[in-house]
C-alpha cells in the first residue's frame, strides 16, 4: 500500500509551498489590470471561460513573467 498522496505529497501533513499549487501568486499585485480584465470578461459572458481564454492566457503570462520567490 502506498503512503504518498496525490502528486507525491504526504497525506495528513501540512503542505509545503511547492505542493500548494502550480501557479505563482501575484503577491505584489503587478498583474491586477490583467486580472480585472479577465474577471470582467467572465462576468459579461455569464462565466463562460472559453470566451475569455485569450485574457486568461494574458494574465497567466503576466504572472509567470513577474514571478518572485518568497
**Model pLDDT for residues 24-59, shown as the tens digit of each residue:** 677 788 999 999 999 999 999 999 999 999 999 999
Helix extents (H) in the chain: 17-20, 32-44, 53-65
Q: Is pLDDT at 70 greater than 60 in this prediction?
A: no
Burial of 59 (C-beta count, 10 Å sphere; 0-12/13-18/19+): buried
Q: Is pLDDT at 69 greater than 60 in this prediction?
A: no
Name the band, by pLDDT with cuts 50, 70 and 90, for residue 15: low
pTM of the model: 0.61
Amino acid at each position: 500500500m502506498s503512503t504518498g498522496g496525490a502528486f507525491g505529497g504526504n497525506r495528513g501533513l501540512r503542505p509545503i509551498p511547492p505542493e500548494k499549487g502550480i501557479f505563482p501568486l501575484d503577491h505584489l499585485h503587478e498583474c491586477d489590470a490583467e486580472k480585472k480584465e479577465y474577471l470582467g470578461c467572465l462576468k459579461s459572458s455569464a462565466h463562460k471561460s472559453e470566451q475569455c481564454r485569450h485574457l486568461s492566457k494574458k494574465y497567466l503570462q503576466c504572472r509567470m513573467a513577474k514571478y518572485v520567490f518568497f
